[in-house]
Amino acid sequence: MQFSSILTSFAVLGVLTLSSASPALAQAGSNAKSGPDDAILEMQRAYKRLDRKRLGALLPQVKGHPLEPWGAYWDLAARLDEAPASEMQDFFTRYAGTYQEDRLRNDWLLLLGKRRDWSTFNAEYPKYRMHDDRSVRCYALLNEFNATGADVAEQVQEAWLAQKEADDGCAAAAEQQLKAGKLKPHSVWLRARLGLENDRPRVATQAVALLGKDRSETLDTLYGAPAKYLNAKVTALRPPTKELVTLALIRLALVDPAAAAKELAKLRWKTQLTAEERSWVWGVIGKRAAQRLSVEALGYFGQAENKHLHDDHLAWKTRAALRAGQWREVQDAIAAMGEAQRKDATWVYWSARALTKLANTEAARAQANSLLQGIASVRGFYEQLALEELGQRITTAPKPPPLTVEEKEAARLHPGLNRGLYAILIGLRADGVREWNYSTNLHARGGMSDRELLAAADFACQREVWDRCINTSERTRALIDSEQRFPMPFRDAVFKRATQIGLDPAYVYGLIRQESRFIMDARSGVGASGLMQVMPPTARWTAKKIGLVNFKPEQINDRDTNIAIGTGYLKLVLDDFAGSMPLAAAAYNAGPGRPRSWRGQSGDPVLEAAIWAENVPFTETRDYVKKVLSNTTNYAALISGQPQSLKARLGLIGPRETGAAQINEELP
């Protein structure tokens, strides 16, 4: 369906219920991306530049436009630091109940917290609906402690340690709790450890600065030259030097895990660092070694006590144990994880597998089956594997009862959903997605019901906004509409091309769904384009390989050209990896060189592909492989109408056989 016809259908159906929307919407329908939409698009560009003057000049032009709330938000958000409170209240009243109202209140609460304007903060915070900004939450906790002395230390620590970047809100709340004696210095050092371990020195510096400027200056020194710093520490250690030594060892582990292991094994650190400090560092060393697929990883982890390891260390210890076939270590590492992580389907599955491998009683086997039954479904990778462990195959979920006219109409008339789709369709995808997600997440604070989510997904599906169709449908809890979750746009083109070159159409669909969610003009941060997210150099190379003459870079977003090049490249990597779908998917995402090394060297064990996939060092590629194979299995069930096996598609993965030639050594 073309853009103009979509917007025309919106106008004809009266989709946008805002009374002021109709004239602009009708014009948009007849002249897409022009007229009234031009002013909105220009306002968004001006907001990115924080061009206050231009925003003010354009604002009158968007009055009555379907996306007027966005224009008003950009104008006011750009000058939030100087806007009077009366203007804020006028905005909140005019756009009450909208995403833009809550978004601006979020921004204002951050500013009020930074200014320590607690009287205004107190008046606005109860009206804030999103509650998904940790910095705002930390300001609220800081203020609550000031006002009532409530015990908020645990909540502050949880929010602060979870923050990925340095921020004012949680750092200020942590400093308050530290000075009050409610938060211990150890929490500060934990924050600093996580900062250095994830190579975010600003996080570590901000944390350590709470304990004194001289310590943050020392942190700069040890970050740049950890080995030199450690060599200088030959006398007895006292706080805070021992904590700084721990940070230096973490930094060294990040750069050179083998060198860090050699350093930590020295007698002086065994006697001067606590078991908790040594265990954490061994956890970092083990994690880095595991990410490099080193056989030493499990030995490094073995130097630590599980009870002192972070959940991320325990996840990598489990992966290393799986790779080594050490099922007792798998079981023990998972048992030591925090409750929330332990309940993730990934670790439930591997815990059940470990129980099965180690079981010597009927009770243990029953426990393993109980764990598998708790996650078994068609929803995802490990859920599907659990089904197969229980002797079942993957089938299409029973289709829910059809949506009623009333359910569809409620979605069609939902203002937030309409604004979200309208924004997406005129090119404001990021803004439209945020408003759509807000509308589906925040329905009477409890989120939409399954039926409401299916109706919202149907609304997006009918307008071929496939990413919102899929993502919304995926959020249902009890009901599953497989056709919504796994749509097949461009079916004739995909099936024809896949059949021509000997690819399974389900595999192609599984990959496209993960790559672009069927967004034709999708573009990644690294420059990949189109349905199959092809990089320009890869497109040029593949075009020559498949005989696509006169290929020009601008053709990459053409649907059929993108499918031809994407499937052509997928077929080349699949052949290069002897038909292994997991290896080919990894190669498509991370380039073929990496999975060639990840499969191991001569003499390394042959692994279940699920174990191999779980050990992929890159988080993005690890998730990608699992999702593409899970998608493929669901698509195959839909296409064939027959039960399917994910395990059969995964197979086994080991080193390339000696003497086996690479079909395409120059694969980019």
Interior CA angle at 592 toward 589 and 596, to 5°? 120
CB half-sphere exposure, 216, CA atoms < 13 A: 15
**Cβ within 8 Å of residue 411, ≥6 positions away:** 417, 452, 455, 456, 458, 459
Listed in sequence order, the DSSP H helices in 129-240 are 134-148, 153-162, 168-179, 185-197, 201-209, 213-224, 226-231
Q: Which is the catalytic residue, given 144, 515, 657, 666?
A: 515
Q: How far apart are alpha carbons 487 and 470 in whole angstroms?
A: 8
User: What are 1's two structure tokens?
Assistant: 């369906």
| Residue 504: alpha-carbon gap to chain centroid | 28
> 88 with 82: CB under 8 angstroms?
no
Q: Could you give phi then psi for residue 124, rounded to 5 degrees?
A: -95, -30
- 370 closest CA partner among 358, 356, 381, 380: 356
Q: How far apart are alpha carbons 131 and 133 in whole angstroms?
A: 6
User: What are 28's two structure tokens?
Assistant: 């948009």
Radius of gyration of the chain from Cα atoms? 28
Q: How far apart are alpha carbons 573 and 581 in whole angstroms?
A: 9
DSSP state at residue 478: S
> 273 with 246: CB under 8 angstroms?
yes
**Cβ within 8 Å of residue 356, ≥6 positions away:** 365, 368, 389
Q: Helix, strand or coil for residue 441?
A: helix
User: What are 115's two structure tokens?
Assistant: 């200014």
User: What are 138's two structure tokens?
Assistant: 């930390």
| 452: annotated active-site residue | no
- 341 closest CA partner among 370, 312, 381, 306: 312
Q: How far apart are alpha carbons 599 and 579 in whole angstroms?
A: 14
Q: How far apart are alpha carbons 512 and 509 in whole angstroms?
A: 5
Which residues does the annotation mark as catalytic?
A: 515
